[in-house]
Amino acid sequence: DGGITQSPKYLFRKEGQNVTLSCEQNLNHDAMYWYRQDPGQGLRLIYYSQIVNDFQKGDIAEGYSVSREKKESFPLTVTSAQKNPTAFYLCASTPAPGETQHFGDGTRLSIL
C-alpha cells in the first residue's frame, strides 16, 4: 500500500542534542512538507521541498534543518537551537503544490 511513514512515533531529546525525524513516502510525490502542531492548535509549516535537492523555509524554520537527497525521503533535524521543540511533527506529501496532501501519523517529540 502506498503511503507516508514517519518514525519514530515518540522521541525524547536531551538538552543540547540534535534529533532527526524520519519521513519516507512511496507515493512518487514530488512535493513534501514538514509541519509542527502544538496542543489544540493548527499546523504551522516548517520546511517544504518541491523537488529533489531543493527545499524552502516555511513560517517557523528557525532551529530546524532538512535535506532532500532522494525523492522518497525528507528527514527533519530538530537542532539544539530550537528552544521549545516539544510538539507533534507531521510530514506530508502531494503530487503538486496546492493539491491534496497525504499525511504520515506523526512523531511526538518531548524534552527529557
Partner 1 sequence: SQQGEEDPQALSIQEGENATMNCSYKTSINNLQWYRQNSGRGLVHLILIRSNEREKHSGRLRVTLDTSKKSSSLLITASRAADTASYFCADHNAGNMLTFGGGTRLMVKP
Stretch that binds partner 1, among 12-20, 64-72, 74-82, 97-105 (CB under 8 A): 97-105
Q: Which of 24, 92, 93, 109 binds partner 1 (CB under 8 A)?
A: 92
Please say whether the beta carbons of 78 and 18 come within 8 A: yes
What whole-number distance in Å separates Cα of residue 76 and Cα of residue 12?
15
- Determine the Cα angle at 22 with ends 16 and 26, to 5°: 170
Told to check if 106 binds partner 1 by CB under 8 A, we report yes
For the window 14-53, what string marks contact with partner 1 as x by the rule CB under 8 A? ---------------------x----xxxxxx--x-----
Chain centroid, CA 110 distance in Å: 15
Residue among 84 and 100 whose Cβ is closer to partner 1? 100
Q: Which of 22, 52, 77, 103 binds partner 1 (CB under 8 A)?
A: 103
Q: How far apart are the first and last CA of the chain?
A: 35
